[in-house]
Amino acid sequence: MKLRNVNIRILGTGISNICQACVSIYDSCGNLVYEGLTCNGCISIELKMYKGYIIIIKSYAGVRKEIFYVDTCTTCYAFRAYEVNRPEEDLVTFLLTDLNYENLPIQKGEIILWQNQ
């Protein structure tokens, strides 16, 4: 099977947008094919072409797992070290009472909230 030299770059949130990380790469059978620290956020490695791999990135931002495929076109694969921020959810209380009997609580039911897409 033909090998291809690929560069893997780990992206951070700093000014230089690189992130030092410990990188582990597994093939599709779960075999560890590489493990090491990045240099300036990057590693360079030979991998088999037309194969899928799992990369696990451990950094200050936590642990992330991604999947990538080695093809003939791509020489540099970039992965974020951090989760994209999701809006925080707060615990919200809804009160439901009878319009015609002030403050009389509704015994049971559902309120459905439809978010604008």
Which residues make up the interface to other proteins (CB under 8 A)?
A: 87-117
Closest CB to other proteins among residues 1, 113: 113
CB of 62 to other proteins, least distance (A): 21
Closest CB to other proteins among residues 16, 103: 103
CB of 95 to other proteins, least distance (A): 4
CB of 83 to other proteins, least distance (A): 16
Within 13 A of 26's CA, how many CA atoms are on the CB side?
10
Compute the distance between CA of residue 33 and CA of residue 51 in angstroms, rounded to an integer.
12
Tell me which residue has tokens 């009389």. Answer: 104
Q: Which of 83, 76, 67 is nearest to 42 (CA)?
A: 76
